[in-house]
Amino acid sequence: MTLLRHFSPADYVTITNGAIGVLGILYFIDGGETHILTGTALILIALLMDGLDGAIARKFGSKHNIGVYLDSMSDSVSFCFAPAVFIYKMFYDIDRGSALENTDNFLAVAASISIATFGIVRLSLFSYFKEDKLETFLGLPTPSMALFVLTGGILFQNYAWFLLPATIAIGGLMLLNFPYPKIRGRLVGISLIGVLAGLVGALMGIWDHPYYTAPLGLSFALILLYIASPIYYRKRDIGIQGTMDRQRKDGT
């Protein structure tokens, strides 16, 4: 209890994020459509908690710097291991043979490993480069990858040949030095819509609503736009640099 007394309000939210992630993994392991959707809803709730702990930390402050480590540990559970288990349960079929005998099973294992390992490295780099103090993320954040995996996995569960290679490729963006905007200003509302749409879709699926894929599709579309956002930033930077070069040339 002595240690817990030193925790800040944001730390408890962060720990809750990790606990929800563990619960989501357990639902994924159980398998079955309802359990998969329930686990998805739980990880999306963990996504909301991940955004909430930052807001609480800014409002109430922190008594120490342990929150950074707690955040990475919780994120590794909810946004690295949980999506990896999700992919394995959704796309690996033991009746098809081992991963060395069946292409779909091989891709399922490869995608699961890439999500977990790339995600862990991404979180380590986040701490190493102290990205919480930078203007942008250096690479695709793990929560964004998790949202892509969960919504895409449900929407394209019958298209493993497309989704699994896409998952591996997009997972690689977590390790590339591309600038991704932090969720601030109007992006807060857009991000909230994306996560809540995914959550509503998962809950509708649990209740067997025939149109549960519609909100999931909206969530998937929004996360694709975010994944592609470095293209916009790159063009903007090129445009700004070109303008500055022209101004310097005109001034000489």
**Structural domain of 8:** 4-251
Q: How far is residue 231's CA from residue 83's CA, in Å, rounded to a whole number?
A: 26
Instruction: Kindly state the tokens that stand for 102.
Output: 């069946």
Q: Is 120 left (phi over 0), alpha (psi -120 to 50) or beta?
A: alpha
The answer to whether residue 26 scores a pLDDT higher than 60 is yes
Q: How far is residue 197's CA from residue 191's CA, in Å, rounded to a whole number?
A: 10
Q: What is the 3-state secondary structure (H, E, C) of 43-71?
A: HHHHHHHHHHHHHHHHHHCCCCCHHHHHH
CATH number at residue 137: 1.20.120.1760
Looking at the structure of the chain, the number of domains it has is: 1
* pLDDT of 173: 96
Q: Are 92 and 148 in contact (CB under 8 A)?
A: no
Question: Within its chain, how far is the Cα of 66 from the centroid?
Answer: 22
Residue range 112-143, pLDDT digits in tens: 999 999 999 999 999 888 888 898 999 999 99
Burial track 204-238 (b if 16+ CB lie within 10 A, e otherwise):
bbbeeeeebbebbbbbbebbeebbebbeeeeeeee
* pLDDT of 18: 96
Candidates 77, 114, 80, 107; CA nearest to 92 is 107
Residue range 85-97, pLDDT digits in tens: 999 999 999 999 9
pLDDT band for position 28 (cuts 50, 70, 90): very high
Q: How far is residue 23's CA from residue 6's CA, in Å, rounded to a whole number?
A: 26
pLDDT averaged over the chain?
Answer: 89
Residue range 181-238, pLDDT digits in tens: 999 888 999 999 999 999 999 999 999 999 999 999 999 999 999 999 998 766 555 4
* pLDDT of 2: 57
Residue range 222-240, pLDDT digits in tens: 999 999 999 876 655 544 3
Instruction: Kindly state the tokens that stand for 4.
Output: 């817990």
Instruction: Kindly state the tokens that stand for 137.
Output: 């993320």
Q: How far is residue 115's CA from residue 157's CA, in Å, rounded to a whole number?
A: 17
